[in-house]
Amino acid sequence: MIARMGQWRWLVAGVLALAAFVLLVSLGNWQMRRLAWKEDLIAKIEARAHAAPQALPSESEWPSLKPDDYEYRHVSVTGVFEHDKETLIFRASGPNEGLSTPGYVVMTPLRLPTGAHVLIARGFVPEAFKEPQSRPQGQVQGPVTLSGLMRAPEARNGFTPADTPEKGLWYTRDPDAMAASLNLPRVAPFSLDADATPVPGGWPRAGVTVVKITNDHLSYALTWYGLAVTLVGLVGFVFWRNRRRA
């Protein structure tokens, strides 16, 4: 009776060990599939960002656009800046070399010939140049043609401070919410990061895009596979030890 109970105990332990092994290998395989997906995504983003500028999608296309299909697409656009509707996004540090101080990304609506608007991230300014009157040369007037990267709305998390639209201060880029606060009825669901071209007076400093996509899937996969190998070794050791005792 006791021997039979021991056999059942070993059988249950073996089944559990096998299930754990299958789970660990499955998790490793899933991370490898994620790795292939992420590498493909990074390749597409690099190709989009460094391609020659395309025409901005027409307003009729905006409702059907998906972020995965347009994020970092390089486009060109012509319009007129509405500087009186300029708004700011706080950033703890500037994206440009030599600008590590807190500051703001200047977001300005660009009125297209059709009357619709696209929000343009014109560049970064430190606290000293927060107010538009501190950088009058940068308030370019009349029709302009610029190129930049299409950017999807930013997600919020539990640590993101509340926006204060009444002060023109935001912590995430949200074209729809910004458009509502600025009373702009027809605004693109995306924004553009202006290319790093010189701005009169030097501010805002264009080129705020930071293409930084984490890709840790290989290390995660190796971790799961390593745990699976460790489990096999541990089970083999226990089996060997008990065989020796027997």
Do both 106 and 149 map to the same domain? yes
Residue in 72, 54, 181 with CA at minimum distance from that of residue 117: 181
Do both 197 and 77 map to the same domain? yes
Of the two residues 167 and 14, the one the predictor is more confident about is 167
Do both 180 and 79 map to the same domain? yes
Residue 85 forms part of a structural domain: yes
**Per-residue model confidence (pLDDT) at position 98:** 59
Do both 117 and 197 map to the same domain? yes
Q: In this model, does residue 149 exceed pLDDT 50? A: yes
Rounded average pLDDT over 33-41? 83
- What is d(CA 243, CA 114) in angstroms, rounded to the nearest whole number? 82
Do both 158 and 196 map to the same domain? yes
Residue in 144, 145, 78, 140 with CA at minimum distance from that of residue 113: 78
Do both 91 and 196 map to the same domain? yes
Greatest Cα-to-Cα distance within the chain, rounded to the nearest angstrom: 94
Residue 59 forms part of a structural domain: no
- What domain range includes position 233? 2-44+215-245
Residue 50 forms part of a structural domain: no
Do both 141 and 197 map to the same domain? yes
Alpha-carbon distances, residue 230 vs 26, 132, 188, 197, 209 (angstroms):
15, 61, 52, 54, 43
Alpha-carbon distances, residue 39 vs 9, 36, 49, 103, 208 (angstroms):
45, 5, 15, 32, 23
Residue 141 forms part of a structural domain: yes
Would you say 108 and 82 are in contact if contact means Cβ atoms under 8 Å apart? yes
How sure is the predictor about 174, in pLDDT bands with cuts at 50, 70 and 90?
very high
- What is d(CA 143, CA 81) in angstroms, rounded to the nearest whole number? 8
Burial tier of 17 (Cβ tally within 10 Å: 0-12, 13-18, 19+): middle
Residue 208 forms part of a structural domain: no
**Per-residue model confidence (pLDDT) at position 246:** 60
Do both 95 and 147 map to the same domain? yes
Total structural domains within the chain: 2
How sure is the predictor about 159, in pLDDT bands with cuts at 50, 70 and 90?
confident
Percent of the chain's residues with pLDDT above 70? 93
How sure is the predictor about 49, in pLDDT bands with cuts at 50, 70 and 90?
confident
Strand 117-126 and strand 187-194: the pairing is parallel
Residue 194 forms part of a structural domain: yes
- What is d(CA 84, CA 81) in angstroms, rounded to the nearest whole number? 9
**Per-residue model confidence (pLDDT) at position 37:** 81
Rounded average pLDDT over 54-64? 94
Q: Could you tell me the CATH number of the domain that includes residue 111?
A: 2.40.50
E-strand ranges in the chain read 54-55, 74-81, 87-91, 103-111, 117-126, 143-151, 169-170, 187-194
Do both 39 and 87 map to the same domain? no
End-to-end CA distance of the chain: 18
What residues contact residue 102 under an 8 Å CB cut-off, 6+ apart?
90, 91, 92, 93, 126, 127
The letter for the amino acid at 183 is N
Strand 103-111 and strand 187-194: the pairing is unpaired
Do both 82 and 197 map to the same domain? yes
Q: Which two tokens stand for residue 7?
A: 């056999």
Do both 194 and 83 map to the same domain? yes
